[in-house]
């Protein structure tokens, strides 16, 4: 039986939620393991969320881990998840909803609420805007961190009168103070109090398993709220509230859009019989837009500073959703690949040691010879994705390194024999053949594919460039100057970029998604 790897943030609340999903899955007889990860939202605590310009700040790290094959499912607070998921990721379950309300935690008593001056802490633009709409003379200060640290900050700051939390979070961790009250008048974030599970779109087994723990009523209500949010084109940087609930076979909905300072507020209410509820989100969003919402949303978008980024590899639609909202991304393939004809006698002959450093080489090999005719004994490669492709389409990999230099250093120590066959490009800048030759290992190079420069001249406003190989660096420089920031997929690429660019950053993992995360973190 497959063990389901459950990805989650590593905060106490996120782990609690992951354990709830784990308990429900294991109750059905499935084996699971929890894989905790730290998100950008957990790492950057010195700015309000709405100033970071990121939709899905708490979810992107898990998206990347899933796309990289490190986890099978991800457990999220549904209110943190962007309304449009990456192309290859889908919602597979929503667990039964907890308390949907916001909660005020205060110091001594609530007398300050009737006074002109008071200080309230929150990191949520929605809570900030609704509070200022009701109490326009009060001061709002930023409050970030996990639930425990936020409670501690409230206690430590003597000038603060109170802070706003999600009631579900306090309840789940059994941290609700005696001096706290539900804010019944405040409309919560869309899907607040709900736990969502995502998985890869093509993983039919996992999707079927997770459907067994899906709570249909919660799914109906949160889907309406998130559709309303999506139709208003909002994210965590817009002050939008929405709540749907079912009572007596009727779906009731209320939504709100405010200006960031709370001075403007547009509300909508709608009720429909269960079964006739599918147009509620459209009706409500149209109402908001027709009553001044479009201008309000346009004003909010103008306050977000944009940064321009160029990728030397074509970015997919799924990858576009991983970028921060404040990034404008252009991309094209700075190099073009052409697969070569490889002598079939070479591919069908027994080969002791094979080196493959790219997926292009894998494609070239299989383009010339079927898998069953290959007689490779020991296969060595570079990169996790290349390894995965080789093992899916050719055979077992004996050793995989993160870059060509690391692989060469490994082979110098542990290679069986003194010869290797290296399937490579006609154009490359890696150190592998040189290192091996200097250590008396004979390298037979097989030109599996050709690399051709095909870069474009970029807009002068581009602030940073993403590189994926030394060749993309060289291709880019054929038509552009090294005046921007270079974000690189690995150390070999970074070494080449360092010859020309003043600022060079290297991704932790050699994947496109990891380079995207590197860019996102830089522009926070």
Q: What is the mean pLDDT of residues 440-450?
A: 94
Structure confidence at residue 107 (pLDDT): 85
Q: Are residues 322 and 242 in the same domain?
A: no
Q: What is the mean pLDDT of residues 142-147?
A: 83
Total Cβ atoms within 10 A of residue 363: 16
Structure confidence at residue 50 (pLDDT): 39
pLDDT exceeds 80 at position 351: yes
Structure confidence at residue 221 (pLDDT): 97
Identify the domain boundary among 256, 287, 303.
303
Identify the domain boundary among 182, 206, 240.
182
Structure confidence at residue 45 (pLDDT): 34
Q: At what angle do helices 147-156 and 12-27 cross, to 10 degrees?
A: 150
Q: Are residues 86 and 139 in the same domain?
A: no
Residue written as token pair 């299989």? 366
Q: Are residues 299 and 324 in the same domain?
A: no
Query: What are the structure tokens assigned to 172, written together?
Result: 């789940």
Cα angle value 37/42/47 (rounded, 5°): 160
Would you call 142 a catalytic residue per the annotation? Answer: no
Q: Are residues 168 and 222 in the same domain?
A: no
Give the range of the structural domain holding residue 106, as residue numbers without chain letter.
102-182
pLDDT exceeds 60 at position 41: no
C-alpha distance from residue 391 to each of 79, 149, 249, 319, 397 (Å): 38, 45, 52, 24, 6
Looking at residue 197, the DSSP 8-state letter turns out to be E
Q: Are residues 355 and 479 in the same domain?
A: no
Looking at residue 111, the DSSP 8-state letter turns out to be G
> What CATH number should be reported for the domain holding residue 267?
3.30.160.40
Q: Of residues 144 and 361, which shows the higher confidence score?
A: 361
Ramachandran region, residue 272 (left: φ > 0; alpha: ψ -120 to 50; beta: rest)? beta
Q: Are residues 449 and 487 in the same domain?
A: no
Q: Are residues 11 and 42 in the same domain?
A: yes
In angstroms, the CA 239 to CA 220 distance is: 23
Q: Are residues 53 and 106 in the same domain?
A: no
Q: What is the mean pLDDT of residues 11-34?
A: 94
% of the chain at pLDDT higher than 90: 63
> What CATH number should be reported for the domain holding residue 158?
3.40.190.10
Q: What is the mean pLDDT of residues 178-207?
A: 94
Span 306-317, pLDDT tens digits: 678 999 999 887
Identify the domain boundary among 288, 303, 318.
303
> What CATH number should be reported for the domain holding residue 356?
3.40.50.10090
Catalytic residue among 42, 63, 72, 80: 80
% of the chain at pLDDT higher than 70: 93
Q: Are residues 510 and 499 in the same domain?
A: yes
Domains identified in the chain, total number:
5
- What SS3 state is found at 329? strand
Structure confidence at residue 326 (pLDDT): 74
Query: Of 456, 427, 428, 512, which Cα lies nearest the Cα of 332?
Result: 456
HSE-up of 219 (CA within 13 Å, CB side)? 11
Structure confidence at residue 523 (pLDDT): 77
Lowest mean per-residue pLDDT among 21-25, 38-42, 273-277, 353-357: 38-42
C-alpha distance from residue 303 to each of 46, 57, 79, 110, 238 (Å): 19, 19, 23, 34, 11
Contact, 362 vs 394, CB < 8 A?
yes
Query: What are the structure tokens assigned to 432, written together?
Result: 């592998």
Residue 34 neighbours by CB under 8 Å, 6+ apart: 6, 8, 15, 18, 19, 22
Show the beta-strand stretches assigned E in 167-313: 180-182, 195-200, 240-247, 250-258, 265-273, 307-311
pLDDT exceeds 60 at position 464: yes
Q: Are residues 110 and 134 in the same domain?
A: yes
Q: Sign of the CA dihedral 418, 423, 427, 429?
A: negative
- Residue 61: pLDDT band (50, 70, 90) is confident
Report the chain's terminal Cα–Cα distance, integer Å. Answer: 42
Beta-ladder partners of 425:
449
Span 221-259, pLDDT tens digits: 999 999 999 998 754 467 999 999 999 999 999 999 999
Lowest mean per-residue pLDDT among 42-56, 83-97, 473-487, 500-514: 42-56
Query: Of 287, 302, 223, which Cα lies nearest the Cα of 257?
Result: 287
Q: What is the mean pLDDT of residues 462-476?
A: 91
- Residue 55: pLDDT band (50, 70, 90) is very low
Structure confidence at residue 42 (pLDDT): 36
Q: What is the mean pLDDT of residues 500-513?
A: 88
Structure confidence at residue 520 (pLDDT): 84
Mean pLDDT, rounded, of the chain: 88
Looking at residue 95, the DSSP 8-state letter turns out to be P
- Residue 88: pLDDT band (50, 70, 90) is confident
Q: Are residues 196 and 63 in the same domain?
A: yes
Structure confidence at residue 111 (pLDDT): 82
pLDDT exceeds 50 at position 260: yes
Structure confidence at residue 49 (pLDDT): 36
Structure confidence at residue 302 (pLDDT): 63
- Residue 53: pLDDT band (50, 70, 90) is very low
- Residue 113: pLDDT band (50, 70, 90) is confident
Contact, 290 vs 200, CB < 8 A?
no
pLDDT exceeds 50 at position 74: yes
Structure confidence at residue 44 (pLDDT): 36
**How many residues are listed for the chain in this entry?**
524
Highest mean pLDDT among 53-62, 452-461, 476-485: 476-485
Highest mean pLDDT among 194-198, 316-320, 404-408: 194-198
In angstroms, the CA 257 to CA 269 distance is: 12
Q: At what angle do helices 60-67 and 512-522 cross, to 10 degrees?
A: 160
pLDDT exceeds 60 at position 305: no
C-alpha distance from residue 224 to each of 34, 87, 424 (Å): 30, 21, 52
Residue 208 neighbours by CB under 8 Å, 6+ apart: none
Q: Are residues 346 and 440 in the same domain?
A: yes
pLDDT exceeds 80 at position 524: no
Structure confidence at residue 80 (pLDDT): 84
């Amino acid at each position: 039986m497959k063990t389901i790897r459950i990805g989650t943030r590593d905060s106490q609340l996120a782990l609690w939620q992951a354990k709830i999903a784990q308990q429900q899955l294991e109750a059905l007889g499935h084996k699971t393991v929890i894989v905790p990860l730290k998100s950008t939202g957990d790492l950057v605590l010195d700015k309000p969320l709405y100033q970071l310009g990121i939709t899905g700040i708490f979810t992107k790290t898990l998206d990347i881990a899933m796309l990289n094959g490190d986890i099978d499912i991800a457990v999220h607070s549904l209110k943190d998840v962007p309304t449009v998921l990456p192309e290859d990721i889908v919602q597979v379950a929503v667990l039964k909803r907890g308390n949907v309300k916001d909660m005020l935690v205060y110091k001594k008593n609530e007398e300050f609420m009737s006074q002109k001056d008071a200080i309230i802490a929150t990191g949520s633009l929605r809570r900030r805007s609704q509070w200022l709409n009701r109490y326009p003379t009060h001061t709002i200060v930023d409050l970030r961190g996990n639930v425990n640290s936020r409670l501690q900050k409230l206690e430590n700051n003597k000038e603060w009168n109170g802070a706003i939390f999600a009631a579900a979070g306090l309840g789940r961790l059994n941290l609700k103070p005696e001096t706290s009250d539900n804010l019944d008048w405040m409309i919560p974030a869309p899907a607040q109090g709900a736990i969502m599970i995502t998985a890869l779109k093509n993983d039919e087994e996992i999707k079927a398993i997770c459907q067994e723990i899906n709570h249909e009523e919660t799914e109906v209500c949160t889907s309406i709220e998130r559709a309303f949010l999506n139709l208003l084109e909002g994210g965590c940087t817009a002050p939008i509230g929405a709540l749907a609930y079912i009572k007596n076979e009727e779906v009731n909905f209320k939504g709100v859009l405010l200006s960031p300072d709370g001075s403007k507020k547009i509300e909508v209410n709608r009720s429909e019989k269960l079964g006739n509820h599918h147009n509620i989100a459209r009706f409500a969003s149209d109402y908001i837009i027709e009553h001044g919402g479009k201008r309000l949303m346009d004003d909010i978008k103008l306050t977000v500073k944009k940064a321009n980024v160029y990728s030397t590899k074509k970015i997919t639609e799924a990858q576009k959703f991983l970028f921060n909202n404040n990034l404008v991304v252009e991309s094209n393939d700075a190099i073009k690949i052409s697969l070569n004809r490889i002598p079939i006698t070479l591919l069908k002959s027994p080969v002791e040691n094979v080196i493959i450093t790219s997926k292009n080489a894998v494609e070239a090999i299989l383009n010339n010879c079927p898998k069953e005719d290959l007689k490779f004994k020991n296969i060595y490669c570079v990169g996790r994705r290349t390894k995965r492709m080789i093992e899916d389409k050719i055979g077992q990999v004996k050793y995989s390194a993160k870059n060509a230099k690391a692989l060469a250093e490994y082979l110098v120590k542990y290679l069986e024999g003194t010869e290797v066959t290296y399937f490579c490009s006609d154009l490359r800048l890696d150190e592998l053949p040189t290192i091996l030759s200097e250590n008396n290992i004979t390298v037979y190079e097989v030109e599996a594919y050709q690399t051709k420069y095909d870069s474009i001249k970029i807009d002068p406003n581009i602030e940073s460039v993403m590189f994926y190989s030394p060749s993309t660096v060289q291709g880019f420089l054929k038509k552009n100057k090294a005046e921007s920031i270079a974000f690189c997929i690995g150390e070999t690429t970074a070494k080449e970029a360092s010859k020309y660019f003043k600022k060079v950053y290297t991704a932790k993992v050699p994947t496109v998604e990891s380079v995207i995360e590197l860019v996102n973190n830089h522009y926070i």
